[in-house]
Amino acid sequence: MARIIAVANQKGGVGKTTTAVNLAAALAAAKRRVLLVDLDPQGNATMASGIDKRSAKPNGCEVLLDEAPIERAIVATAAHYDLLPGNGDLTAAEIKLMDALARESRLKEQLAKVADRYDTILIDCPPSLHLLTLNALTAADGLLIPVQCEYFALEGLSSLLETVKAVRQRLNPKLAIEGLLRTMYDVRNNLGNEVSAQLTQHFGDQVLRSIIPRNVRLAEAPSHGQPIHLYDRSSRGAIAYIGLAGELIRRERGAPAEPVLAETDA
Ligand code: ADP
Ligand code: MG
């Protein structure tokens, strides 16, 4: 049975999609069977995986509305993970779901049909805490929270954690915090260090050891429709995501995490 991890933070631009795509590729490179679910109407994870979101049909929309079997919507990608594509249709799905029965557990029900085919299912969430994200949190075993090492990094974290509490009480008691992931870290920037120290002070062991550096190759890769692993496998960004995959695998096995140090572009 797959372990399901939602990548969420209602702040936009913190590295959710970059993390979901490149972690999917890094886990697949480690011979894990991975499904990436693009639950953001922007369809960025779909495009970054080399799949044209405009022609992706059926996609997550039809699957959530029970209008197409999930098996028919899933496609294979060049980086050896599978993708449930998403695009603007998801906005319509979210609106139609408002009046539906068991509206928060649609994704959970659908993923259950394919869970035995994968080791890990990653869900890239939209920048909100609305119904699509609630579906992800209801389906998930763990929540991975990317946090950008910049001003206002902690802003919004408390409402995210409030939502987690509410989801645990009403929808999904098994939801765990997989970890907070520091992204776009720049060693030359004192602020990054301050934010990092603040995070550790507040969240202790829940802050992952792996740190994703600010790396221009990570920002370039999506426009080539490639995860970093295919675009530039020796880049600092690629190495950092391989380190993150290793840390998550070790955590799953209950082994102590090794510290992973990352540097930024010189
Ligand atoms: P989100 O999904 O949270 O909105 P994205 O993953 O799309 O965030 O990242 C926002 C922007 O920052 C994108 O243009 C992306 O390419 C860029 N980006 C993300 N992570 C990094 C990084 N570690 N280094 C450099 N650029 C990054
Ligand atoms: Mg995104």
Q: Please give the distance, rounded to the nearest whole angstrom, from the Cα atom of residue 125 to the centre of ligand 2.
A: 7
Query: Tens digits of per-residue pLDDT, 98-127?
Result: 999 999 999 999 999 999 999 999 999 999
Q: Which residues contact 6 (CB under 8 A, 6 or more apart)?
A: 122, 123, 125, 133, 136, 137, 139, 140, 142, 143, 144
Give the structural domain span for 219.
3-252
Q: Please count the CA atoms within 13 angstroms of the CA of 25 that sit on its side-chain side.
A: 30
**Predicted interface score ipTM higher than 0.90:** yes
Contact 30, 77 (CB under 8 A): no
User: How many domains are contained in the chain?
Assistant: 1
Q: Please give the distance, rounded to the nearest whole angstrom, from the Cα atom of residue 133 to the centre of ligand 1.
A: 19
pLDDT at 120: 98
CB atoms within 10 A of CB 91: 14
What percentage of residues in the chain have a pLDDT greater than 90? Answer: 85
Q: What is the pTM of this model?
A: 0.95
In a domain, 59, yes or no: yes
In a domain, 257, yes or no: no
**Residue 160 and residue 164: Cα distance in Å, rounded?**
6
Query: Tens digits of per-residue pLDDT, 214-258?
Result: 999 999 999 999 999 999 999 999 999 999 999 999 988 886 655
Residue 266 above 50 pLDDT? no
Encoding tokens for residue 212? 């994703």
CB atoms within 10 A of CB 259: 9
Ligand closest to the CA atom of residue 235: 1
Q: Which residues contact 113 (CB under 8 A, 6 or more apart)?
A: 69, 70, 71
Ligand 1: atom nearest CA of 19 is 6
18, 160, 264, best to mutate for ligand 1 pocket (most atoms within 8 Å of CB): 18
In a domain, 103, yes or no: yes
Nearest C-alpha to atom 17 of ligand 1 is from which residue?
Answer: 219
> What CATH number has the domain bearing residue 148?
3.40.50.300
In a domain, 263, yes or no: no
Query: Tens digits of per-residue pLDDT, 75-102?
Result: 999 999 999 999 999 999 999 999 999 9
Owner of token pair 């907070």: 180
